[in-house]
Amino acid sequence: MSEEIRKGLVGVVADRTAISEIDPETSSLLYRGYAVEELAARCTFEEVAYLLWHGELPTRLQLLEMEGEGRAQRAMDERVRTAVDLLPTTAHPMEVLRTAVSVIGATDPYAGDRSSDYAKAVRLLSQIPPVIAYDQRRRRGLPVVPPRPDLGFVENFLHMTFGRVPAPVVVDAFRISLILYAEHSFNASTFTARVITSTLSDLYSAVVGAIGALKGPLHGGANEAVMDTLEEIGDASRTLAWLDETLAARRRVMGFGHRVYKKGDPRVPTMRAALGRLVEHYERHDVLDLYTSLERAMAERTGIAPNLDYPSGPAYHLMGFDTRLFTPLLVAARVTGWTAHVMEQAADNTLIRPLADYVGAEERHVAEHDG
């Protein structure tokens, strides 16, 4: 049996999906048939969320309806705030968000009602940003900023975090990052959400589980680790020495490599261009020098290309987010893909339950003993 084992499910096709298509040969990514670069160039984040959930881009009226539902639910529920306040600021923001989503689910009287999964997805999309914004602000000792219903999702998210809407170039880079992060087929966190859904558990539980899976540094946690790396290197003149030391110690360089893309991540050029515009805006050429030096050194020493976490980490840093908030930002985007997958799994469900090849002790018996 052991020759059939594919550790890490490498190369295993676990099911069908109509949500996104990855082609590692051509390094392409389509959401519902649209190239992700095109969506990033032409769409709002709300339009992309609608596309992932419904399979088609919205008409003006459909978009207005979805935005109306979302904008009405942007304020943080007091019960969620109370739960967050109970957590120490030493808790990682992903732990805070995981707890908050659990509370959001536990306070929804229809949590177990499968027929309202779409409404729950819209609710989560609206309620995750205030938690992230509040968490950054409470760690800085700043007061809560109430949401603004007149603003789009992206502007409002930034407004709640920073108390103002930043320059258009910053808003645009943030919008692009959220679109690029929104969906990625059967990645570890999405697969986790599908496994949980397959047991007929509820959507909130699936998202809580997905947050747990995304937190790890081999997955979403890499975007914050990228920033730690760039800060550890400190200056482009130290990059090669740092990399040689890291590779000699057989440590991974975060933000590089990918389970599916071996020829490069198609999202990187779009996010790299947005990072370039941020660098110009903030006049932080030192960040780009560091970025480029590690990218070049990795190509030279290993031939391994960056993934989306590599440009998004420094982009979020320049925007003013605390490093530990980077992975929660990915949650704010990926919750669209996760919930689309929850609905797809639930619509044609089979319990996901693989087998294992047992390699433990032979059958044995407990010796008779007193007591």
Ligand X SMILES: O=C([O-])CC(=O)C(=O)O
Ligand Y SMILES: CC(=O)SCCNC(=O)CCNC(=O)[C@H](O)C(C)(C)COP(=O)(O)OP(=O)(O)OC[C@H]1O[C@@H](n2cnc3c(N)ncnc32)[C@H](O)[C@@H]1OP(=O)(O)O
- b/e string for 248-263 if b means 16 or more Cβ within 10 A? eeeeebbbbbbbbbee
Contact predicate 239/297, CB 8 Å: yes
Which among ligand X, ligand Y, none contacts residue 321 (Cβ within 5 to 8 A by kind)?
A: none
* Tokens encoding 166: 């930043």
* Alpha helices, H only, the chain: 36-42, 45-54, 60-71, 78-86, 93-106, 117-139, 153-162, 168-181, 188-198, 203-214, 222-233, 239-248, 268-282, 285-301, 309-319, 326-347
Please list every residue from 18 through 47 that binds ligand Y, using CB under 6 A.
none
Which among ligand Y, ligand X, none contacts residue 215 (Cβ within 5 to 8 A by kind)?
A: none
258 catalytically annotated: yes
Q: Does 122 sit near ligand Y (CB under 6 A)?
A: no
Q: Does 99 sit near ligand Y (CB under 6 A)?
A: no
Question: Given the structure tokens 């957590």, which residue do they identify?
Answer: 87
Which among ligand X, ligand Y, none contacts residue 257 (Cβ within 5 to 8 A by kind)?
A: ligand Y
Query: Residue 179: how many CB atoms within 10 A of its CB?
Result: 28
Contact predicate 148/169, CB 8 Å: no
Nearest approach in angstroms of CB 363 to ligand Y is: 34
Which among ligand Y, ligand X, none contacts residue 253 (Cβ within 5 to 8 A by kind)?
A: ligand Y
Contact predicate 78/127, CB 8 Å: no
219 catalytically annotated: yes
User: Catalytic: which of 219, 265, 317, 341?
Assistant: 219
Q: Does 301 sit near ligand Y (CB under 6 A)?
A: no
Name the residue nearer to ligand X (CB basis): 117 or 309: 309
Nearest approach in angstroms of CB 321 to ligand Y is: 16
Residues at the contact surface with ligand X, assessed by CB under 6 A: 184, 187, 219, 258-260, 307-308
252, 284, 296, 301: which one contacts ligand Y (CB under 6 A)? Answer: 252
Which among ligand X, ligand Y, none contacts residue 174 (Cβ within 5 to 8 A by kind)?
A: none
* Tokens encoding 279: 């660098």
Of the candidate spans 33-41, 98-106, 305-313, 356-364, the one that interacts with ligand Y by CB under 6 A turns out to be 305-313
Q: Does 299 sit near ligand Y (CB under 6 A)?
A: no
Which among ligand Y, ligand X, none contacts residue 133 (Cβ within 5 to 8 A by kind)?
A: none
For 49, half-sphere exposure in the C-beta direction (CA atoms, 13 angstrom radius) is 26
- Distances 321 to 63, 76, 162, 220 between C-alpha atoms, Å: 29, 19, 9, 16
**Cα distance between residue 131 and residue 210, in whole Å:** 17
* Tokens encoding 247: 């590779």
User: Catalytic: which of 159, 184, 258, 317?
Assistant: 258
Please list every residue from 180 through 219 that binds ligand Y, using CB under 6 A.
218-219
82 Cβ contact list (under 8 Å, min separation 6): none
Of the candidate spans 232-240, 286-294, 302-310, 313-321, the one that interacts with ligand Y by CB under 6 A turns out to be 302-310
Q: Which of 284, 286, 298 is nearest to 239 (CA)?
A: 298
Name the residue nearer to ligand X (CB basis): 76 or 97: 97
Nearest approach in angstroms of CB 172 to ligand Y is: 21
User: Catalytic: which of 202, 309, 317, 341?
Assistant: 309
Nearest approach in angstroms of CB 95 to ligand X is: 20
Name the residue nearer to ligand X (CB basis): 122 or 214: 214
Nearest approach in angstroms of CB 283 to ligand Y is: 28
- Distances 312 to 24, 282, 308, 321, 323 between C-alpha atoms, Å: 21, 16, 6, 11, 11
Is 331 buried (19+), middle (13-18) or exposed (0-12) by CB count in 10 A?
A: buried
Size of the site for ligand Y (CB under 6 A): 18
Nearest approach in angstroms of CB 222 to ligand Y is: 3
Please list every residue from 217 through 246 that binds ligand Y, using CB under 6 A.
218-220, 222
Catalytic residue set? 219, 258, 309
Which residues of this protein are in contact with ligand Y, per CB under 6 A? Answer: 8, 218-220, 222, 252-259, 302, 304, 307-309
